[in-house]
Amino acid sequence: MKRRVLVKRTALVLITVFFLQPVSYTQEQQQPQRVSSDIYAKILKEETDNSQIMRTLHFFSDVYGPRLTGSPNLKAAGEWAVKQMQQWGMENARLEPWNFGHPGWLNERASGFIVSPVKDTLVFEVLAWTPGTNGTVVSEAYQMVLPERPTQAELTAYFDSIKDKVAGKIVLVGKHTPVPVNFTPTPKRLNDDDLRTRFDPNVKPSPTPTPTPTPTPSDRLTGGQVSEQLDKFLLDNQVRVRVNDAGREGGQIRAFNNRTFDVTRVVPTVILRNEDYGRISRLLADGQAVTLEFNIQNRSYPEGATSYNVIAEIPGTDKRDEVIMLGGHLDSWHAATGATDNAIGCAVMMEAARILKAIGVRPRRTIRVALWSGEEQGLLGSQAYVKEHFGSFENPKPDYFKFGGYFNIDSGTGRARGMSVFGPPDAATPLREAVGPFAYLGIVGVTNTRSRGLGGSDHTSFNQAGLPGIGVLQDPIEYFTTTWHTNLDTYERVIEDDVKRSAIVIAAALYQLAMRDELLPRFERAEMPALPPPQPSPTPAPSPSATPPRQP
């Protein structure tokens, strides 16, 4: 029904601009309002009639997913994207290498079963950068529960008390996590009135609260110290397989990575769905012997130490040395095909650039598409790119002063509802004017941010450098609740009408930044926000993206 409404509204707009002629940037300077209206109508028509988004998503997710950083799948997806954008007429398409520093990894096959006292198939995902089982292993299960916040003496005593019980076994690590029924599910759409308040340029934003760290007594081990010793203990006692509780409802599983990226420092590890983990835990609590069987086949790829960002361009005309960028991260976690995180973001951004190329826009500035890798391991690909090409406010390179903005999408299938740009308040004005005509598609407004904090998604790599990163706020749909980093992140979870709306909005904003006389306003030197103090990496967190931080 929503798609029909979009098509009807599109048709009404197109009636008024039928038989439009190609437009050059000189005409844009002479008649900006009329030309923008004409271009917007063409954008709508191109996306309505010739959209390539779902085809692009299909290749990224069904053909090349999952796309773990360093894996051959990710490189193959990047190579396909290069060829596709070349076919669309974009130039300078290439894979640009950067140093990941770790081998690539793939799980090729895995199976698991309860053998006794009942028989059933287990549902699980393998933890990335862990070894395989070297064939089928069958063993009794043992469940260990670590002491909370132990001292070194307490942890050592606990390990000594159970080492004979875990030796050669399949070990469940931790208590079963009770997951209560959720009677107040998160809304799938953002409230329009709340958004209007949030994006009202006359409303002062609430100050960001400073988190207060929880002090750890000096004699207590940190989570990272406990995890490191646990890994060694399991390895020293020849544990066959480590089993962790997914701890999520409805069979959802999030499987991240061995934090060392070294398969020799851990035992084979799986994340078992909460329902299976609970069943085994209760059987063991009854005093019954439980026998499990696993066969896990993983492979490492040394060549994955070099990873790649995907780059392609629509060259500019009179301002070709200045660049407007857009993109998302192409890498994904491995539990599913990475459709909402973030194949669809990449497909939307490729589509926005394709639309402008297809309708014959000759941008004044160069438009550059970038699909990043290493985002899930800490925004590594985009950080490497910004450092290499632009430098930072404190140490700029020549192209730093020719950069006009980077649009980023990375919050799933939801339609674009707003944008946040790093810069002074007037940096939001051109973007607000660009997306204003598309309010009926759900876009509410644009605001600015002063934060140079790194985290959330790749636009903050630009923000940290003092450059205008533009994060796109989206309707959550099922993202943070269901698909984000889980085994349910597949093609089926993408809403076609929503992502088409996003592509239209992005294409319009992209067009305006590529055509206007001046670059977006930036902070004056004396007004540039200071870099936040370095934050210690959370341990044993598998990734800086371990909590949902991505809405700008």
* 544/524: higher pLDDT: 524
* 6/322: higher pLDDT: 322
Task: Kindly tell me if the per-residue pLDDT of 8 is higher than 50.
Answer: no
The predicted structure's pLDDT at residue 534: 80
Task: Kindly tell me if the per-residue pLDDT of 397 is higher than 70.
Answer: yes
Task: Kindly tell me if the per-residue pLDDT of 539 is higher than 70.
Answer: no
In sequence order, the 6+-apart residues with CB closer than 8 A to the CB of 31 are none
Q: What is the DSSP string of 150-168?
A: --HHHHHHHHHHHHHHHTT
Q: Percentage of the chain surpassing pLDDT 90?
A: 86
- Closest to 421 in 3D by CA, of 433, 431, 434, 411: 431
- Inter-residue contact 36 to 512 (CB < 8 Å): yes
**Is residue 493 helix, strand or coil?**
helix
The predicted structure's pLDDT at residue 518: 97
Task: Kindly tell me if the per-residue pLDDT of 422 is higher than 80.
Answer: yes
CA separation for the pair 48, 507 (Å, rounded) = 13
CA separation for the pair 105, 177 (Å, rounded) = 29
Task: Kindly tell me if the per-residue pLDDT of 549 is higher than 60.
Answer: no
Phi and psi at residue 247, to the nearest 5°: 65, 30
- On average, the pLDDT of the chain sits at 91
The predicted structure's pLDDT at residue 536: 57
In sequence order, the 6+-apart residues with CB closer than 8 A to the CB of 228 are none
Interior angle at CA 325, CA 319 and CA 328, nearest 5:
170
- The answer to pTM > 0.95 is no
Rounded CA Rg of the chain: 25
**Is residue 472 helix, strand or coil?**
strand
The predicted structure's pLDDT at residue 393: 98
Predicted confidence band of residue 211 (pLDDT cuts 50, 70, 90):
low
Q: Percentage of the chain surpassing pLDDT 70?
A: 88
Task: Kindly tell me if the per-residue pLDDT of 548 is higher than 90.
Answer: no
The predicted structure's pLDDT at residue 19: 31
Rounded-to-5 percentages of helix, strand, coil across the chain: 40, 20, 40
CA separation for the pair 375, 67 (Å, rounded) = 11
Span 193-200, mean pLDDT?
Answer: 92
The predicted structure's pLDDT at residue 202: 84
In sequence order, the 6+-apart residues with CB closer than 8 A to the CB of 117 are 283, 288, 289, 290
- Closest to 436 in 3D by CA, of 42, 36, 22: 36
- Inter-residue contact 338 to 255 (CB < 8 Å): no
Predicted confidence band of residue 210 (pLDDT cuts 50, 70, 90):
low
Interior angle at CA 388, CA 383 and CA 389, nearest 5:
105
> Max Cα separation, the chain?
83
The predicted structure's pLDDT at residue 218: 78
pLDDT digits (tens, 9 = 90+) for 79-102: 999 999 999 999 999 999 999 999
CA separation for the pair 273, 423 (Å, rounded) = 44
The predicted structure's pLDDT at residue 219: 86
Task: Kindly tell me if the per-residue pLDDT of 206 is higher than 80.
Answer: no
- Inter-residue contact 142 to 171 (CB < 8 Å): yes
pLDDT digits (tens, 9 = 90+) for 10-47: 444 443 333 333 334 344 444 555 567 899 999 999 99
302 CB neighbour count, 10 Å cutoff:
10
Span 424-444, mean pLDDT?
Answer: 97
User: What is the rounded (10 degree) CA torsion for 332, 336, 339, 340?
Assistant: -80
52 CB neighbour count, 10 Å cutoff:
18
pLDDT digits (tens, 9 = 90+) for 63-78: 999 999 999 999 999 9
* 478/208: higher pLDDT: 478
Phi and psi at residue 436, to the nearest 5°: -55, -45
pLDDT digits (tens, 9 = 90+) for 499-538: 999 999 999 999 999 999 999 999 999 999 999 988 655 4
Using DSSP bridges, classify how beta strands 136-144 and 170-173 pair: parallel, antiparallel or unpaired. Answer: parallel
CA separation for the pair 67, 336 (Å, rounded) = 9
Task: Kindly tell me if the per-residue pLDDT of 543 is higher than 90.
Answer: no
- Give the HSE-up count for residue 199: Cα atoms under 13 Å, Cβ half-sphere: 28
The predicted structure's pLDDT at residue 45: 97
Interior angle at CA 47, CA 42 and CA 49, nearest 5:
95
Among positive and negative, which fits the CA dihedral 279, 284, 288, 290? positive
The predicted structure's pLDDT at residue 216: 57
Predicted confidence band of residue 407 (pLDDT cuts 50, 70, 90):
very high
Predicted confidence band of residue 205 (pLDDT cuts 50, 70, 90):
low
The predicted structure's pLDDT at residue 535: 67
- Closest to 64 in 3D by CA, of 377, 254, 338: 338
The arrangement of strands across the sheet holding 120-121 comes to 120-121, 104-116, 291-301, 136-144, 170-173, 241-245, 269-272, 124-126
> What are 25's two structure tokens?
């940037």
Task: Kindly tell me if the per-residue pLDDT of 271 is higher than 60.
Answer: yes
Task: Kindly tell me if the per-residue pLDDT of 7 is higher than 70.
Answer: no
- Inter-residue contact 361 to 317 (CB < 8 Å): no
